[in-house]
Chains A and B, each alone.
Chain A
C-alpha cells in the first residue's frame, strides 16, 4: 500500500511539474477530421496528411494565395523557349531542419527518389510519361542550380509540381531515410518540425527555430514569408464533426479549419468565436450519364438544368457563403471571367416545354447520393424537390460512399449528386470531366471537340492564350449539358478569439505559420 501511494504521489507530482513547464509554450490545437496516414510526404497520404506535411516540407515552387504558381525554395525559374528545359536557381542560405544547408544535390536526390517507382510517389504518373509530360533528366550543374528536362512542352508542369497532394514535391534531406533506405522521419525546410505522433489521437509539430524564411513581408499562400509564431501546433484527431464542434465550444480545441456552412452560421453568433471564410476550388453539381437511354436526350438534361432555382439552392446549401457557379472553373480561379459567369437561367416553362418535346412521360430517374458528405446529400434532396415542379420524376437512391465511388468510376448511374475535390488549374478542372468514355468510363463529358481544345490548353504555357480556350470550353459545356455545376465550396475556419492571423484560402488547407495566440488567461 505504501509503495502504491508513493508511486501515485510521484505520478501526480511529475504531472504537475510537466504541465507547468509546458504552460510556457504557446500551443495551438487544431481539429483534424482524420488521422494522418504517414509522415512520408506524397507517399501514403490523404488530405489530412498533406495538410500536416505542408508545414514540414517545402518544394521548389508553391501556390500563391490566388492559386497562381510562384517560386518557393527557388529564387527564380527560367523556362527555355521550346518549353523543354526548366532552370531553377535556389535561394541562398536555406537550412534543413537538421542544420544542413540546402544544395542542388539535395533537390536532385529528392526528385530521383520521387521518380523511382519503388517509392510509390502519388504524382509519379504526372511526370513519368503517363501524364502530361515526362521528366527526362534532373541535373545539378552547380550547387545552386537545378535543371529539369522534359520530353514535351507542358503548361501544367509547375502547377503539378506545386500540388499539395504531392506535398508540393517537398525537398527532403537524405537523412530522412535510414541507412537501409527505409523511411525514418521527414527532414524538410519548412517552418515546423515533426514532434510527437500519437496514432489515432494527435500529431504535434514544433516550431523550427532556425527557419530560413523568404524575404517578403508576409506569407502568400504556400510561399512568401512563412515565419511561425506559435511554439507548437497540436493537430487533434476528431473524426466526428458534432464532437469537433462541441470541442470548439468548450475550448478543447482552438481552431477548426473546416466547419460546415450551417455550423458557421451558428458559431458566428457565439461570443468567444470568430469565423473565417474563403471560396475553394471544389466543384459540386449533378452528373448525368449521357449514354443512358433516357438521359442521352440533351433536352431532358437541359430541362433539369433549367428547373433548378440556383440562387435559392446555393443560399441554402452554403448558408449564403457561396455564389452560384455553372462553370467548371471555380470562382476563385484567375481564369474565372465574364464568360464563365454565364450559366443556366431558372425557367420552369421552358423546362416543361423541353420535356414535352422530348416525349418524357414521367419515367423514373434515379439519382445517387450518399450520407457521408452532407452537402452532396442535401444538394440531391433540394434538386429532387425543385425538379418535381417541372414534372421530372427523380428518385434518390442513397448509397454508401465507397459504393457510390465505384459507380462513378464505372459510369453505372443515371444521375448522381457529386463533388470534385479541388483542382488548382482550370485545365485540371476540365480534365476531370472530359474524356473518352470507352477508355475512362468515369469521365462525364465525351466530346472529341472539347477534348481537342483541352489538350491545347494543357500544352499552352501563356495564360493570355489559354483564357479564350477555356471560354470556348465553357460555352460548349453549356450547350451539351453533360453535367450541371451548381457551386463551389467554401473553407470555413472557426476559431477562438485569441487566434490571430489565421486565414482560410482557396487551397483549403490550414496554415499555422503567421498565426499568433493572443495573451489571455486560459
Chain B
C-alpha cells in the first residue's frame, strides 16, 4: 500500500494512481450549487417572477400551477418569489453572523493565546461558560431584549458562535507562537502587536476558513430554528426559516408551503457541507475536528 499521502478526512481522497489536476467532485458540486444559489439571491435584488410582498387576498393557498410555479402562501404571495428574496436575506444574515463571530473570536483568541497568563485564564473561563450555554436560549434571550430584527439575530448568533472561533484561533496561536519565525520577528524588533497580526494571523486562516464554512451552515439552520420557535426575522423580509415556520399551520392543506423552503435550506446546507469538505482537504489535510 502506498503510504505517501495520509488520508484526507471526510472526503473521497484521490487514489495515488489518478493524479488529475482539477478539483474533486464535492468541490464541484458544492461550489456549483452554492454559486447557483448566490446568483439566484443576487438576481432577486433586481427581478422576481412576482412581487414577493404584494398581498393578493383572492389567490390564497393555491397549489403549484403554471401561473405560480411553487404555489401561493396564506396571503396570496408567490412562494417562488419569496424563496428568492428569502435566499438573499437568509444568506446575508448567515454571512453577517459568521463575520461577527470570526472578527470577535479572532481578536479574543489571539489575545488569549498570545498573552497567556491571567488574561488567558479569565478569557477561557468566560469562553467555556459561553460554550456550555445552550445557544438557542442565548439567542432567544438576546432577541427578546434587542427586538426581533435582522441585526438582533446577527448579534445573537454572532455571540453564540464566537466561543468556537476563540477556541480554534487560540489553539492555532498557541502552536504557532513557539515557532522560530515568530522568535525571529521579535528579535528583529517588531512589536508584539505587529508580530501578532503580520505573522500569526495568516497562519490561522486555514482552520478558521474551515470553521467559518461550518458556521455558515449552523447560522442558516439556527435562523430557521429561531423562526420556528417564534422569534424570526420580521416582515417584510422573508427568510426561509420564517416561511418554514409559517407553513406548519397549513401542513395538511398546503404542504407545498413547507416542502419548498425545506428543500432550499437542505440544498444550501448540502452545498456548504460539500464545499466545506473540499476546502478542508485543500487547506489543512492534517486537521481533525
Contacts and interface: CB of A to CB of B under 8 A. Distances in A.
Contacts of A398: 147-149, 234-235
A500 interface: no
B47 interface: no
Interface of A: 241-242, 245-246, 249, 260, 262-263, 266, 312, 315-316, 369, 371-372, 374, 378, 381-382, 385, 396-400, 402-403
Nearest to B233: A398
B235 A396 contact: yes
Q: Which 7 pairs between the two chains have the least Cβ-Cβ distance?
A: A398-B234, A242-B248, A400-B144, A398-B148, A266-B253, A316-B57, A242-B249
Determine the interface band of chain B, counting residues with CB < 8 A from chain A: 20 to 34
Per DSSP, are chain B's interface residues mostly helix, strand or loop, or mixed? loop
Given A262-B74, A371-B230, A381-B235, A245 B148 contact: no
Contacts of A242: 248-249, 251
A245 B149 contact: no
B75 A312 contact: no
A278 B237 CA distance: 35
A249 to B, nearest CB: 6
B231 A385 contact: no
Interface in B245-278: 248-253
Given A245-B249, A371-B234, 12 more contacts: A246-B251, A372-B230, A381-B55, A381-B75, A382-B55, A396-B236, A398-B148, A398-B149, A399-B148, A400-B144, A400-B230, A403-B147
Contacts of A374: 249
Given A262-B74, A398-B148, A371 B251 contact: no
Given A400-B143, A402-B144, A385 B234 contact: no
B52 interface: no
Nearest to B140: A400
Contacts of B143: 400
Given A245-B249, A249-B252, A397 B234 contact: yes
Given A381-B235, A396-B235, A262 B148 contact: no
B71 interface: no
Contacts of A382: 55
A315 B60 CA distance: 13
B148 A263 contact: no
Question: Which of A397, A398, A400 has the most C-beta atoms of chain B within 10 angstroms of its own C-beta?
Answer: A398
Given A371-B230, A397-B234, A266 B252 contact: yes
B31 interface: no
A249 B232 CA distance: 28
Contacts of B74: 262
Given A316-B57, A397-B149, A403-B147, A246 B230 contact: no
A371 B144 CA distance: 12
Contacts of A403: 144, 147
Contact of A397 (B147, B230, B250, B252): B147
Contacts of B253: 266
A398 B143 CA distance: 11
A241 B249 contact: yes
Interface string B131-151: 000000000000110011100
A315 B58 CA distance: 11
27 contacts: A241-B249, A246-B251, A249-B252, A262-B74, A262-B250, A263-B249, A266-B253, A312-B57, A315-B57, A371-B148, A371-B231, A371-B232, A371-B234, A372-B230, A374-B249, A378-B75, A381-B55, A381-B75, A381-B235, A382-B55, A396-B234, A397-B149, A399-B147, A400-B144, A400-B148, A402-B144, A403-B147
